[in-house]
Chain A
Amino acid sequence: MPQINLLQAVNSALDTAMAHDPRVICLGQDIGQFGGVFRATSKLQEKYGKQRCFNTPITEQGIVGFSIGLAAQGSIAVAEIQFADYIFPAFDQIVNEAAKFRYRSGDQFNCGGLTIRTPYGGGIAGGLYHSQSPEAYFCHTPGLKVVIPSTAYQAKGLLLSAIRDPDPVIFFEPKAIYRAEVGEVPDDDYEIPLGVAEVVTEGADITLVGWGAQMHQLHRAAKMALQDGISCEVIDLRTLLPWDLETVAASVNKTGRLIISHEAPRTGGFAGEISAAVQEQCFLSLESPIMRVAGMDTPFPLVFEKEYLPDYLKVYEAIKQSVNF
């Protein structure tokens, strides 16, 4: 099996989807001949033509609204928003339109063919507007699905599922590890089911839950903890909406401890939701308070990015605190 990086895996998923289904259309800023600012759509216009892979004007609300219309008509629209930080002009189209299209029409109409891909997250010295993790805003919106891969293999399988899923999906791509994350990815078509978490490392003492680029921090912290004799069960959520409470609760019932970690600010972050749901399900199994290791409640900084981010050392300290509670 070829070793490719996460970015190439995204490209391979798009290529596969377009090759297998002529209804698949890719659109977004600079995605045509140029192949996107990160090159995720490289060569797609060359292969499938300008009608099926094209540059749009710079209007995120236009891109998403247009894609909703395409999907309603029966096409499969894969829209790229250049940076997740720039998804907000499209907020109305996503939250009020895409998410409610099926519901409000009594299932006469739907825009399930819509997938929005967008690079998110920090770690690239991008400051306020090239670093944000806005997943929680969208997890608060019934009708959407929210998916975040952390490996090249996941990126291809989850993106193919997202494109073919009957509901609108927002697919956040961890840009900090676009090139660094390399793994074996099949050339052919495969899907990874949405809504199912992956237990990446089994462990006995504490459960660590995360997604996207943050998984690297969790794995690293788990390795440090192992040196201290603490065995961590590491879970990659993969889909945030709807999320796999069953897998997480089963793990917490086993370990009795839980840490959730994300880059996004702590207040209103998705860890809060996970924490609340798990304590409802696992109250009697818990041996210490559920902890959140998250970004601080400030805009994303530039010079103090390293200090701001919930890195492996912060996760490691939280593990020790939880175990020694």
Chain B
Amino acid sequence: MTAKSKQTDVLRFTETTDLTIPTLRILDADGKLRKNAHEPVIDKATALKIYENMAYIRVLDERMLAAQRQGRLSFYLTCTGEEASVVGSIAGFKSHDMVMSQYREQAALRYRGFSSEQFMNQLLSNDLDFGKGRQMPIHYGSHELNYMTISSPLATQIPQAAGYAYGQKLAGKDACTICYFGDGAASEGDFHAGLNMAAVSNCPVVFVVRNNGYAISTPTSEQFAGDGIAPRGIGYGISSIRVDGNDILAVYAASVEARRLALQTNAPVIIETMSYRLGAHSTSDDPSSYRNADEEEIWRQKDPILRMKKWLLDKGWWSDQQDHQLKTQYKKEILDALKSQEKRPSPPLSDLITDVYKTPPLHLRQQYTELLNHIAKYPDHYLPNPNNSGHQSALTQVN
């Protein structure tokens, strides 16, 4: 496409300041429509579904953080502060679109219909976890809900999303892929490879990059020198937009339009959501050693859930009483699910060797038999959990 370049007689370098991407904002801090902004078409049912999902995830995150502190979970990671970036974007897509996420997008999974019990099954690695207790907490995945299982290595899903979308295009389906990642992940080689391939191969994929200010302790000022992530899309020939990630209407409007563009033009689109990771990176992290509380407070004031609530109240679609009821109900639902799913056993020990390949080869079956024989010699050592029927059933096979 460089053929389009105009000739010039002036020796002048294009400066990064020649291209700064604006931030779309529709709602102001008080949840009021900004003067010249267009309210996107959104019906009451969708608006309430979005709000309820954000509220749910906030409660889930608070409860699971507490459960981790009590030692009931080994690890957890919250989406706090970024709920609108995630729910606003997923709401612009259809349930048959594929989601390929990083790890802080549990709200998108909930939007698709993941139940409290299903969240607990994964977090607790019990026998009903779709991932068979193999991955650390928060690495969800659901084939039924078109939500690809999460992988810890950063950015690997980005080129994969391009390929998935290319396949969707060839299959002639009215479906695309939405791919989430963070500002830090966007530094990986896979980000650049994925964007370029998506653009060159005309893939209907929407990349949603959550620019939340930090990658663990590293502020974005040490992550990149340019104007965030969105301008990189332009460099690869991809339509790009930046939105206020705490403004639910801006995220939603951009996402609906991004999906339309991706499918109608068979081309990738980038949405950069500007927000803030209000919590710690994960339960293994303590942000007090790398950022100050004042900064956090500024962002706490910009709570995306509160902002949407004000808009809903103004519209007469919601009341404080409903709000209170909803949160109480979610709290109970989540704690009940935690209690019931905690009682479930681990997956069976035989899951150790399944799914490495489609069928376990001989050497794996032999290693498994050796393990069973070994465990039979030291049942107390390997059977600390009386709930663990998996071990027991495996052992009865030997004895």
In the bound complex, CA of A61 to CA of B190 (Å)? 10
B residues less than 8 Å from A299 (CB atoms): 134, 356
| A34 in contact with B187 given A125-B74, A306-B382 (CB within 8 Å) | no
In the bound complex, CA of A60 to CA of B74 (Å)? 27
In the bound complex, CA of A37 to CA of B134 (Å)? 23
| A85 in contact with B381 given A58-B188, A59-B187, A127-B134 (CB within 8 Å) | no
Q: Determine, out of A7-15, A201-209, A307-315, the stretch whose residues face the partner at the interface.
A: A307-315
In the bound complex, CA of A30 to CA of B356 (Å)? 33
CB-based contact A302/B152 at 8 Å:
no
A residues less than 8 Å from B284 (CB atoms): 37
B131 to chain A, nearest CB (A): 9
Closest-by-CB residue of A relative to B361 is A297
A33 to chain B, nearest CB (A): 6
| A313 in contact with B378 given A86-B153, A89-B190 (CB within 8 Å) | yes
Pick the contact of B187: A57, A129, A301, A307 (CB < 8 A): A57
B residues less than 8 Å from A85 (CB atoms): 152-153
Q: Determine, out of B25-33, B56-64, B248-256, B363-371, the stretch whose residues face the partner at the interface.
A: B363-371
| A297 in contact with B352 given A55-B222, A313-B381 (CB within 8 Å) | no
A116-135 CB contact bits vs B (8 Å, 1 = yes)?
00000000011111100000
B67 within 8 A of A: no
B213 to chain A, nearest CB (A): 14
Count, chain A residues at interface, CB 8 A: 40
CB-based contact A307/B188 at 8 Å:
no
CB-based contact B188/A59 at 8 Å:
yes
CB-based contact B152/A128 at 8 Å:
yes
Closest-by-CB residue of A relative to B151 is A129
A residues less than 8 Å from B189 (CB atoms): 59, 61-62, 89
B residues less than 8 Å from A128 (CB atoms): 134-136, 152
CB-based contact B222/A32 at 8 Å:
yes
A residues less than 8 Å from B185 (CB atoms): 58
A residues less than 8 Å from B134 (CB atoms): 127-128, 299, 301-303
A103 within 8 A of B: no
CB-based contact B381/A34 at 8 Å:
no
A110 within 8 A of B: no
A73 within 8 A of B: no
A56 to chain B, nearest CB (A): 8
Q: Which of A287-312 contact B (CB under 8 A)?
A: 296-299, 301-304, 306-308
Q: Which of B190-235 contact A (CB under 8 A)?
A: 190, 215-218, 222-224
B125 within 8 A of A: yes
Interface centre among A34, A55, A59, A126, by most chain B C-beta atoms within 10 angstroms, is A59
B residues less than 8 Å from A130 (CB atoms): 136, 152
Q: Which of B131-147 contact A (CB under 8 A)?
A: 133-136, 139
A220 within 8 A of B: no
Closest-by-CB residue of A relative to B287 is A34
In the bound complex, CA of A137 to CA of B335 (Å)? 45
B347 within 8 A of A: yes
CB-based contact B364/A89 at 8 Å:
no
A139 to chain B, nearest CB (A): 21
Give chain B's interface secondary structure class: loop
B261 within 8 A of A: no
| A303 in contact with B216 given A130-B136, A130-B152, A296-B364 (CB within 8 Å) | no
B21 within 8 A of A: no
B289-300 CB contact bits vs A (8 Å, 1 = yes)?
110000000000
A residues less than 8 Å from B363 (CB atoms): 267, 297
CB-based contact B375/A34 at 8 Å:
no
CB-based contact B133/A303 at 8 Å:
yes
In the bound complex, CA of A59 to CA of B158 (Å)? 14
In the bound complex, CA of A302 to CA of B125 (Å)? 8
CB-based contact B216/A88 at 8 Å:
no
A266 within 8 A of B: yes
B315 within 8 A of A: no
In the bound complex, CA of A291 to CA of B272 (Å)? 55
Closest-by-CB residue of A relative to B385 is A303
B386 to chain A, nearest CB (A): 15
A317 within 8 A of B: yes
In the bound complex, CA of A317 to CA of B216 (Å)? 43
In the bound complex, CA of A126 to CA of B290 (Å)? 24
A29 within 8 A of B: yes
In the bound complex, CA of A54 to CA of B221 (Å)? 13
Closest-by-CB residue of B relative to A308 is B352
A134 to chain B, nearest CB (A): 13
In the bound complex, CA of A296 to CA of B363 (Å)? 10
B6 within 8 A of A: no
B273 within 8 A of A: no
CB-based contact A297/B187 at 8 Å:
no
| A266 in contact with B152 given A61-B189, A127-B136 (CB within 8 Å) | no
Closest-by-CB residue of A relative to B368 is A296
A residues less than 8 Å from B151 (CB atoms): 129
Given contacts A58-B187, A304-B352, 16 further A-B contacts (CB under 8 A): A30-B218, A32-B218, A34-B217, A54-B222, A89-B188, A126-B136, A129-B153, A267-B363, A298-B356, A298-B364, A303-B346, A303-B347, A304-B133, A304-B349, A313-B374, A313-B381
13 interchain pairs, CB-CB under 8 A: A29-B215, A30-B216, A30-B217, A34-B290, A89-B190, A296-B368, A296-B371, A298-B356, A302-B133, A304-B351, A304-B352, A307-B371, A313-B374
Top 8 nearest A-B pairs (CB, nearest first) are: A57-B187, A129-B152, A34-B217, A303-B133, A127-B136, A58-B184, A58-B187, A30-B217
Binding site for B on A (CB under 8 A): 29-30, 32-34, 37, 54-55, 57-62, 85-86, 88-89, 125-130, 266-267, 296-299, 301-304, 306-308, 313-314, 317
